Structure 1
Amino acid sequence: MNRLKDATSPYLLQHADNPVDWFEWGEEAFAEARRRDVPLLISVGYSACHWCHVMAHESFEDEATAAMMNERFVNVKVDREERPDVDAVYMAATQAMTGQGGWPMTVFATPEGHPFYTGTYFPRPHFHRLLAGVSNAWTGDRDGVLEQGSKIVEALNERTALPSGPLPTAGTLAQAVESLSRSFDAERGGFGEAPKFPPSMALEFLLRYGAAAELRPASGGREPRADGGPRTGEEPRTDAAPAMSMAERTLEAMARGGIYDQLAGGFARYSVDADWVVPHFEKMLYDNALLLRVYTHWWRSTGSVLARRVALETADWLLAEMRTPEGGFASALDADSEGVEGRFYVWTPEEIRDVLGEEDGAWAIDLFEVTGTFEHGSSVLQLLSDPDDAERFARVRAALLAARAQRVRPGRDDKVVAAWNGLAVAALAETGALFDRPDLVEAARGAATLLDELHLDGDRLLRTSRDGRAGDNAGVLEDYADLAEGLLSLYGVTGEVRWFDRAGALLETVLDRFADGSGGFFDTADDAERLFQRPQDPTDNATPSGQFAAAGALLSYAALTGSARHREAAEAALGTVTVLAGKHARFAGWGLAVAQAAVSGPVEVAVVGAPGDPATSALHRAALLSPAPGLVVALGEPGSAEVPLLEGRGLVEGVPAAYVCRGFACRMPVTTPAALRAELTS
């Protein structure tokens, strides 16, 4: 009997009609394996995973394969996005046993959950042989299988945590820039060889490093400086120039390549080639939330016209394609439509001519590099240079977008994940404030409200919801940390104290239930389900590691409150960055970004004035436009004491005022945006 029909996960529901007798992860499956005295076959994936679909079609929908699975195993299907803890411990085993990982992940385990054979995607003939071999080993060499499982668990549990060093210094950060430069692809942008993933967290660090050095790039194809002043043309400081160069080259290459949807906005998961041309077409909320924030920060630092366009297009895509009826944001769009990867996105020259006619068609074919970059004569659209006719481009783009809308759309995984929505809240709030788009701020507020009202259960956070119904999966560290980060950003933009208070409560749970006693954090709470290993990975993956995300939120909260406890916890969690900076900086991007904020202060700005007062709004905007690393902004009326940074701050001769501080030591208040900009750059 397939037990997935009542699942909340869209990924599990994709398998609800399989002839496989799937169980969801839980004690029922373990008890059944013990009762039948057979191994567990644990299959882990996610809804937008192309090779998960391939294995499903080849094996899990096949009656003969399903019969073999049902006869010899208890089969468990896991959505890695709902259960990142389960995914983490079995991925560690898979990587230890095979030297690589990926999804779908296929794990054979004892009824106690101890893995003894692992892999990823298996073609059906290989999978048949594997099922028979594992089953025969279980019945014919039980002691050997059990010993193998015990040894794997013992080895994984004996792994020592990544060592921690002292708080990173300016020298550590310079060392990290040098480390990144060694793997930087100067010709094509990005780091390393194909496949290339958007290095969102490393880019945020590089932008912060440049801002800390008071980088002011020369003008040229740029808007006026974000703070309203003219571009001076002065050269950047030499120690920051490589950092900004790596960031800008990568950001431009991604924005102009096929990994970016040139018609609707938004980024695909990664590029299969080194030139950012052919993407793996799935679109993930976390990638786009992180990149939206990075492109917004690029504009804030440099005034780049391209950065502004990509940020706003990506924000609009998030609202149009990913927002759920309840106000949250869906997890992903599939790579496939009609069973074919990328079919929704690619074009042949004939298809473009059919939509646009010969003259506009020829122009668009040349502009978008429609030269057979994908399969069967089709192409992914690129925009390697800006069009020479903006009005014509807008008309052509709109026509192609309308034609594409008639195609069968990729499936959407519409579950709401707390961590990734926290990333979206931060990005949309800041983008809306900087580009004067109140609709984006309102979207951030709507997502935060959903998470507050549906995902929070007392001091506990639930990881997922769908269709307005919360799941029963406990939040992991990244959920608490990323949501706290998002709520603090939303507070800084809106001045609404409820978000500051909620962030503080989340961080209390982080400190109380996730700390490892040595300055780091476990990825699961102390009362979470016990797996064969308690997961703890301080390094970044596709998203900031929970530990580095917690460090960032703790640092911001400390800057708003003056709390030594939160500051010290943030600094302790950053000790791992010092170890990684020299050789493995790519895996510590968010930690490096937070460390840059810690080294720089961060700068604290208290803006005091009546809500809606134009003078208050002007000061508030000037503060938000500062690229100072990790800057926090408190906004409130005179006499407000709900946020400690505002306590004791008042108007100056009846006029709204701004106070620039570091470590709660403040300079004299200023009353004009120009004076505030001068304070922030002094």
Structure 2
Amino acid sequence: MDHQAPKLNRLADAKSPYLLQHATNPVDWYEWSPAAFTMARERNVPIFLSVGYSACHWCHVLAHESFEDLEVAKVMNEKFLNIKVDREERPDVDALYMTFLQATSGGGGWPMSIFLTPTLKPIFAATYLPRIQFISILRNISSIWTEKQDEVISSSTDILNQLRAATAPAPPTSLSLGTSLHSLSSKLYDDLSSKFDIRYGGFGQRGPKFPTPAQTLDFLATYAVLSPPPSSEADTTQPTGDPKTCGHDGYSNLRGIWEGGIRDHIGGGIARYSVDERWHVPHFEKMLYDQAQLSISALSLSLLAPRLLSSTSDRQLLRDLTANILEYVERDLFSNRDARQGGNSAAFWSAEDADSRKAFEGPGKIKRAGEGAFYVWTAQEIDGIFLSHGLTKGTKAAEVFKRRFGIKDEGNVDPVTDIEGELRHQNVLYHAASVEQVAKDCDLSVEETERLLTISLTILKEWRDENRPRPHLDDKIVAGWNGLMISSYALASLLLPKDGSYPIQSRALNIAEQAAHFVLQNMVDEATYELHRTWRDGDKGPRGQADDYAFFIRGLLDLYEASGKEYYLLQAIRLQETQDRLFWDEKNGGYFTSVEDEYILIRQKDNQDGAEPSAVSITISNLSRLSHFDSSHAELYLSRITDTSALLSSMLEQTPRAVAASLAALLCHQAGHRQFIVLGSPSSPTVQEYINIIRGETFIPNGVLIRIDPDALPTGLAARNEVIKDIVDYVERQRAAGKPIEENVRLCEGFTCQLPVKTLEQVRKLVL
């Protein structure tokens, strides 16, 4: 029997993968657009706004239960104007109505279900709603709108005014970048220490547990280096932070992630969060921004070892985690899957879905997607796969694997963490026992145990790739997230060992450059030099948000330091000018989160860190770094930091964890950036050693690396920086006189430079 193709709605013309997931719904969806708002006013019906993203499990549940249901769709189409928004495409829309949801319910999340007047003022908000409850709310709101429309409009106007007042930034106050800043850092450190989970790592004793690198790991790494030690044991005015404890807590957090089920032990990469406190059962979606932030945090913390960590093995684990993430992203989230063969333009996709299928669909066998199906295993499956590959019981491979990864015949997922029962009898891989313990229990050597585990993981990966369809891929390209990932690969090219122990290191710089070129060529308007937030299938998406600029500028700065190519630095300077033009509040100071838009009823300044660092925190860091690259505009950059920190003062004092990334950036700014200027050819072994010492031997959160190649002088940078101009003039004089150009390193602090040094020992002394 032939089946007709499902009828398509308006979303069939969308570019967002999330919207396309709903293109066959019987709901008459509109995209967020003036045409939709006009139609709502003409029909005089409320708007139902549904906000989510393509990798969201509960978004899929709501869609299956309600948006695919004919009865529900009939009510929605008759009584409402229905709008679907991808929160990753329009974070400004999401942020505005999430503020309303959080204010009225005390919590938030996705899917977000918002009911609005035809003029976009909020009426009612919720997250996921079961079908029966959802259809009841639809009918109730429709009735209230019909019977008491004037009251609803009046109430929604009051709500909007209250939201506007609640989201208005606190009045700016002066913030001392001295004792008070360190006091606030100490307060945050003490708060994190009190919440640290000594059993499993991370901050908080219960699930769900999020990695939260912006709010914890990056701050701890910075504070470990920049917190001044107490002047005496009796001095209680000094910060109480213990740098060694900072390093230990950050490392323990990442070790818990490395060992837990939140990491895909077979294919690499980290899931969004763990639903339990042990990092065992994840919410299985993999987001690009999580991969970027966690790999950056791991790299930073790896440089604290062995000085602030227990041993060099701690450093290796952190490097292993970084490489694991970057290899996964290169293989599964990079649009040029053949990056190792070269190419000059590609970018990073956004996410892989939480839901997946456990087998390919066959004739008459429709297998509904379920959460984590791609990643989980029954004990019987593992036995069968091993047996089919000749790993009989005599090899002990199955026993070794099951002990190491906690495999149980009945499954290892606690029903409490499996709300829908989708993981019953399934096993999520995690490190249940050390390799040494497994070797002892199985009467094997450690070497043989490791060999069997390597073979087993390889077999399972090959089997999974051949027999299970991958989770849905969200293949839109987000400018800001690409910026974060560019930073990660650029830093990996500098910070991972160059001895071949991590093959990704040799490819990392090329990957970062490809992504930077893609964004610059495809997502920046030549005429205005404005950045677009997304790109997919040849089309640019909405205008960039403040975080797109901040994250991408950071990526370009890191890429400049890794490559020495001033092109990236000059593009960063131009984009900072655009960010200031579009987002700087000339009246009150500070940066708006989004561009001006008549349909965004409140233009917010969101300074809080969340799943990603705030645009403000990264911008503070960017401006401080830029003041050392582009000293001709240093006064402007520094004034922006001063004005922005004044607007942050209230939150810094009352809720420092909410702005931890800004606090870390201000610590670096207050300490003053240490400017290392390396003169010499990039191909010179001595110059490579200089850079490895400066960037690869210890963590310098307030370090700035400037590279001057005598054969490709940075003329653009020289025009903006007097120190660089003097060095360029020196090189040109030496060359004109036929004299050699000596390789050396200068350290500049407070815009004052020391004499250049030449030996590796002298450079090492500058760094320490």
Report what 1:189 is aligned to. 201
Quick one: which amino acid aligns to residue 23 of structure 2?
Answer: A
CA contact (8 A) 1:196 1:271 kept: yes
Which residue in the other structure is 2:385 paired with? 355
In the TM superposition, residue 646 of structure 1 has moved relative to its aligned partner by: 2.8
- Secondary structure, counterpart of 1:647 in structure 2: helix
Separation of aligned partners in 2, 1:627 and 1:465: 35
Kindly indicate whether the alpha-carbon contact (under 8 Å) linking 2:18 and 2:86 is maintained by their aligned counterparts in 1: yes
Corresponding residue number in structure 2 for 1:396: 456
Secondary structure of 2:261's aligned partner: coil
2:478 aligns with 417
Which AA in structure 2 matches 1:459? Y
Contact 2:483 2:554 in 1 (8 A): yes
Structure 2 length-normalised TM: 0.83
Question: Does structure 1 retain, via aligned residues, the 8 Å contact 2:397–2:453?
Answer: no
Deviates more, 1:273-282 or 1:661-670: 661-670
Match of 1:21 in 2: 28
Q: Which residue of 1 aligns with 2:3?
A: none
Q: Distance in 2 between matches of 1:199 and 1:183?
A: 13
Question: Does residue 668 of structure 1 match 2:668?
Answer: no
Alignment deviations for residues 331-377 of structure 1 (CA, whole Å, 9 cap, x no partner): 11000013110111111221222222432011101001123332322
Note if contact 1:481-1:553 (Cα within 8 Å) is conserved in structure 2.
yes
Residue among 466, 473, 477 paired with 2:536: 466
What is the identity, as a one-letter code, of the residue corresponding to 1:660?
L
> What's the TM-score once normalised by structure 1's chain length?
0.93
Task: Write the distance in 1 (CA, Å) between the matches of 2:693 and 2:597.
Answer: 44
- Which residue pairs with 2:258 in the alignment? 255
Q: Report if aligned partners of 2:50, 2:114 keep a CA contact under 8 Å in 1.
A: yes
Alpha-carbon shift at residue 186 of structure 1 (Å): 2.4
User: For residues 385 and 486 of structure 1, what CA distance do their matches in structure 2 show?
Assistant: 38
Asked if 1:379 is matched to 2:427, the reply is yes
For residues 203 and 572 of structure 1, what CA distance do their matches in structure 2 show? 26
Percent identical among aligned pairs is: 35
Alignment-derived partner of residue 365 in structure 1: 402
* Alignment pair present for 1:329 and 2:398: no
Q: Does 1:637 pair with 2:709? A: yes
* Alignment equivalent of 1:647, drawn from 725, 737, 741: 725
The residue that corresponds to 2:160 in the other structure is 153
Tell me which amino acid in the other structure corresponds to 1:417.
Answer: V
Paired with 2:561 and 2:638, the residues of 1 have a C-alpha distance of: 19
Partner of 1:488: 557
Of the candidates 428, 452, 455, which is equivalent to residue 520 of structure 2? 452
In 1, Cα distance between equivalents of 2:761 and 2:536: 47
Larger Rg: 2
Q: Is contact 2:186-2:241 (8 Å) kept?
A: no
Instruction: Describe the shift of the 1:164–1:251 C-alpha distance in structure 2 as closer, same or farther (beyond 3 A).
Output: farther
Q: 1:7 is matched with which residue?
A: 14
Between stretches 528-537 and 252-261, larger displacement belongs to: 528-537
What is the DSSP-based 3-state SS (H/G/I as helix, E as strand, rest coil) of the residue aligned with 2:10? Answer: coil
Aligned equivalent of 1:310: 321
Q: How does 1:145-294 map to 2 (within 5 A)?
A: 145-159=152-166, 160-162=168-170, 164-165=172-173, 166-168=175-177, 169-192=181-204, 193-201=206-214, 202-212=216-226, 239-294=242-297
Partners of 1:369 and 1:573 in 2: CA distance: 49
> Counterpart of 2:569?
500
CA distance in 1, matches of 2:266, 2:227: 36
Cα deviation code 1:601-631 (max 9, x no counterpart): 1211111112312222221222222411131
Whole-Å separation in 1 of the counterparts to 2:347 and 2:434? 34
- The alpha carbon displacement at 1:128 in A equals 0.9
The aligned counterpart of 2:364 is none
Output one character per residue of 1:94-119: Cα deviation in whole Å (capped at 9) or x when no partner.
11122211111111111110011111
- Contact kept in structure 1, 2:247 and 2:304, CA below 8 Å: no
- CA drift of 1:324 comes to 1.2
Change (3 A) 1:576 1:301: farther
Deviates more, 1:337-346 or 1:238-247: 238-247
After TM superposition, list the pairs within 5 Å mapping 1:576-591 onto structure 2: 578-581=649-652, 584-591=655-662
Structure-2 separation of matches of 1:195 and 1:240? 28
Q: Report the CA distance between 1:139 and its aligned residue.
A: 0.3
Which deviates more, 347-356 or 408-417?
A: 347-356
- Measure, in 1, the Cα distance between the counterparts of 2:665 and 2:706: 19
State the Cα distance separating 1:582 from its structure 2 match. 5.3
The whole-number CA distance in structure 2 between the counterparts of 1:68 and 1:348 is 42
Q: Flag as ranges the 4+ runs of structure 1 deviating above 6 A.
A: none
Aligned residue type for 1:209: Y
1:422-571 paired onto structure 2 within 5 Å: 422-435=483-496, 436=498, 437-457=505-525, 458-471=528-541, 473-516=542-585, 517-525=587-595, 527-562=596-631, 563-571=634-642
In the TM superposition, residue 30 of structure 1 has moved relative to its aligned partner by 0.6
RMSD: 2.0
The correspondence for 2:374, drawn from 329, 344, 350, is 344
Q: Structure 1, residues 41-65: CA drift from partner, whole Å, max 9, x if none?
A: 1000000000000000001011111
Distance 1:332 1:529, change over 3 A: farther
**8 Å contact from structure 2 (residues 556, 571) kept in 1:** yes
Amino acid at match of 2:383: R
Read off the aligned partner of 1:445 and give its amino acid letter.
Answer: E
Match of 2:418 in 1: none
Q: Quick one: distance in 2 between partners of 1:352 and 1:178?
A: 45
The residue aligned with 1:234 is none
Aligned equivalent of 2:44: 37
Q: Distance in 2 between matches of 1:51 and 1:519?
A: 39
